[in-house]
Amino acid sequence: MAAKSHEEEHDNKAFGWAARDQSGVLSPFQFSRRVTGEKDVAFKVLFCGICHSDLHMAKNEWGISTYPLVPGHEIVGQVTEVGSKVDKFKVGDKVGVGGLVGSCHSCDSCSNNLENYCPEMILTYSAKYHDGTITYGGYSDIMVADEHFIVRIPENLPLDAAAPLLCAGITVYSPLRFFDLDKPGMHVGVVGLGGLGHVAVKFAKAMGVKVTVISTSPSKKQEALDHLGADSFLVSRDQDGMQAAVGTMDGIIDTVSATHPISPLIGLLKTRGKLVLVGAPEKPLELPVFPLLMGGKVVGGSGGGGLKETQEMIDFAARNNITADIEVISMDYVNTAMERLLKGDVRYRFVIDIGNTLKI
């Protein structure tokens, strides 16, 4: 029997933009979504953030992409239909979907609300769902997901600027909480002032933490201090400045995805301080062990967050008026946006206006 086309795989017609090969170039794509199951929530996609991982995946730079590939895991919109056994959401609710649409629900990670570490987690796009079909992301007109993986967006958060919180937001919020770097009066460094870093500064400040931004770019100083409210700014190439800050920080959230030296960062930590990596460099970083031993210091990692914590993060953002700084773009601008993203030419997150600009 011939395999069904992407358009005929399910009963709900859908439309989006997809990459067809490793060029990563996106173009219009007709496909289909599953019928809303008894525990499913269907929603009209209104906005979708562009994460750097969308660029990696579109070009298969991590070797795990399945084509055609519809990117997008910072997805927000309005509920259009709920399954008969859905009890948390109703038609008209503002909702979102982040990086996950499935997990096993039975492993230790799932039992502890850490679905993001489930060995069988199902990514929002370019993964295989429970029914064997491929998942498609938010660069599309409609979304269907199990209610467990749906996040409620509070009324006071603007949907466009809230979208990046579903990836960038939880990626920095989770380690601040887990590594106990959220206590008022603590001193936390944030390395890199991009899509993740700028949100990290906002969350840490809202938690009452003293924040130092650490960057290779002196030009970002005014932005960090005046616009984002950081307490101080360090240029990582300024040896005198770095030396003066040695041993002053309780923790550091390192958002940089490029290969970079971490020895100077370890030096900034107090005794028993924690360096947490949330960026994903393509090559291994060099880890100096001696400074760890001499200071009882910790180097850790953190990857996203579970659904319970993601909802907690969104609610915290709503209470503290935290949103991402965004540039809203039309769907047909997406390939140009990807080129700009590659050059770091965005302040700080592109968000696609799906609802108004996605045209068949």
- pLDDT value of residue 3: 52
CA distance 332 to 177: 38
Domain ranges of the chain: 12-167+326-357, 168-301
DSSP state letters, 47-105: EEE--HHHHHHHTTTTS---SSB-----EEEEEEEE-TT--S--TT-EEEE-SEEE--S
Domain 168-301, what architecture?
A: 3-Layer(aba) Sandwich (3.40)
Q: What is the CATH number of domain 12-167+326-357?
A: 3.90.180.10
Region label for 11, one of left (φ > 0), alpha (ψ between -120 and 50) or beta (otherwise): alpha
Q: pLDDT by residue for the chain (360 residues), tens digit each?
A: 445 667 677 778 999 999 999 999 999 999 999 999 999 999 999 999 999 999 999 999 889 999 999 999 999 999 999 999 999 999 999 999 999 999 999 999 999 999 999 999 999 999 999 999 999 999 999 999 999 999 999 999 999 999 999 999 999 999 999 999 999 999 999 999 999 999 999 999 999 999 999 999 999 999 999 999 999 999 999 999 999 999 999 999 999 988 999 999 999 999 999 999 999 887 899 999 999 999 999 999 999 999 999 999 999 999 999 999 999 999 999 999 999 999 889 999 999 999 999 987
pLDDT of residue 123: 97
Q: Count the neighbouring beta carbons within 10 Å of the beta carbon of residue 81.
A: 16
Q: Assess contact for 23 and 66: CB atoms under 8 A.
A: no
Alpha-carbon gap, residue 285 to 265, rounded angstroms: 12
For 57, 76, 190, 200, 334, the CA distances from 324, given in Å and listed in that order, are 22, 14, 16, 10, 19
The pLDDT, as a whole number, for residue 60 is 95
What is the pLDDT, as a whole number, of residue 283?
A: 87
pTM for this predicted structure = 0.95
Dihedral pair phi/psi, residue 100, rounded to 5°: -125, 145
Residue 110 contacts by C-beta under 8 Å, 6 or more apart in sequence? 103, 104, 118
